[in-house]
Amino acid sequence: MKLGRELTTHEMWKQSHCRKGSRPLDKDLSNSLVSEDDSEGSFEEENLNWVDDRAKETWVNYNGYVVEKYGEEHSELDKDSWSRAVGGVKRGKLYGLSNVSGTRVHVRQDPEIEKLNLVIKELVKEKEDEKERLNGIIAELVAEKEKDKAEKDAMLDRMTNIEAMLKSIVQ
């Protein structure tokens, strides 16, 4: 089936968590193109046959939070509202988002992890500062080496000139 566009969050959830035949897009399986009017807007919520109570409850909660936050017109996934609707991250996962690509959600709930992240950032900053300081020292040493080389070359030139003068005097 081709929609001619990407599925909205609402369509994706209903298609993947309602039983076959009650899903909003099932009635249009025979059509090659689904219009905007035929998708979720005109399909009655009470006709949906959810796969389980959690799927329905999650949808009702999420939809309520999104309507509260944005009003009726919002089709993008709101990760904060979703996290709130499903009760947050459990065992490192956020319920229902495993089938939605590009929705990695990182919710930091542990203050100890946040403290450790701050310590890591401070250590990284200190190491970067130390690296800059050492690069400065290296640059100074390279400049000093070049200066010494130039002085050595000048000294060799003078010695060559003195040697040439002594040879001419001796002859």
Residue of higher predicted confidence among 128 and 53: 128
> Any idea how long the chain is?
171
- At residue 120 the predicted structure's pLDDT band, cuts being 50, 70 and 90, is very high
Q: Which of 3-7, 11-15, 100-104, 167-171 has the highest mean pLDDT?
A: 167-171
pTM, full prediction:
0.46
pLDDT digits 0-9 by tens, 59-84: 888 888 888 888 877 777 788 888 88
Q: What is the average pLDDT value for the chain, to the nearest integer? A: 78
Distance CA 60, CA 87 (A): 13
Whether the per-residue pLDDT at 141 is higher than 90: the answer is yes
Q: Which residues contact 31 (CB under 8 A, 6 or more apart)?
A: 1, 38
